[in-house]
Amino acid sequence: MKLKFEVSPDDFSLVGKASSELKRVLSRLGIDAELVRRASIAMYEAEMNMVIHAGGGVAEADIERDRVVMTLSDTGPGISDIPLAMTEGWSTAPDRYRELGFGAGMGLPNIRRNCDEFDIQSEVGKGTRLRMTIKLGVGGGPA
């Protein structure tokens, strides 16, 4: 099963709709609650990053028998130093997002912590592609 969402930067209140929908679908498929939670957190952090740093983009989720693969692609400014961006507490988010509860520099590390596989490809001036995999394991997959 494939899900695809346009992540718009225009309305902050809508950020996370893709994550909520993904959570609803995974829960309905009978997937283990802890795995659903991990997938939802990763997707939400990635959505938020895309809105804060890249002006939105596209979020996709591919739900397979043994895994959920989430891919987020944007055409934003890209990340010049990925290891630095992966450091907890390091952030370039504008202050207005901190006032809204985000931009604390926990996003990428938190995504990596919640995923079984994590890959980030980024080119300055062209954009970023994030691929996150949650393995569903024995008995964890869709019923």
Partner 1 sequence: MTVGRIVEILEAKVATGEEHMGVEVQAACGADLMSDVMAFVKDKVVLLTGLVNPQAIRTADLLDIRVVVFVRGKSPTADLVAMARENGMVLLSTKYTMFLACGRLYEAGLHGGGIREIV
Instruction: Please say which residue, 13 or 143, places its beta carbon nearer to partner 1.
Output: 13
Return d(Cα 13, Cα 20) in angstroms, integer.
13
Task: Check binding of 13 to partner 1 (CB under 8 A).
Answer: yes
The site for partner 1, by CB under 8 A, has a size of: 26
23 binds partner 1 (CB under 8 A): yes
Residues 38-77 that bind partner 1 (CB under 8 A): 40-41, 44-45
Q: What is the DSSP string of 63-77?
A: E-SSEEEEEEEE-S-
- In this structure, what token pair is assigned to residue 7? 């992540």
Q: Interior CA angle at 4 toward 72 and 47, to 5°?
A: 40
Choose which of 107, 115, 130, 141 interacts with partner 1 (CB under 8 A).
Answer: 107
Q: What order of strands is seen across the sheet that includes strand 67-74?
A: 2-7, 57-63, 67-74, 127-135, 117-123
Question: Any contact of residue 100 with partner 1 (CB under 8 A)?
Answer: yes
Nearer to partner 1, 18 or 136 (CB): 18
Tell me which of 76, 103, 127, 141 binds partner 1, using CB under 8 A: 103
Report the chain's C-alpha Rg in angstroms: 15
- Site residues, partner 1 (CB under 8 A): 12-13, 15-16, 19-20, 23, 33, 37, 40-41, 44-45, 88, 98, 100-107, 109-110, 113
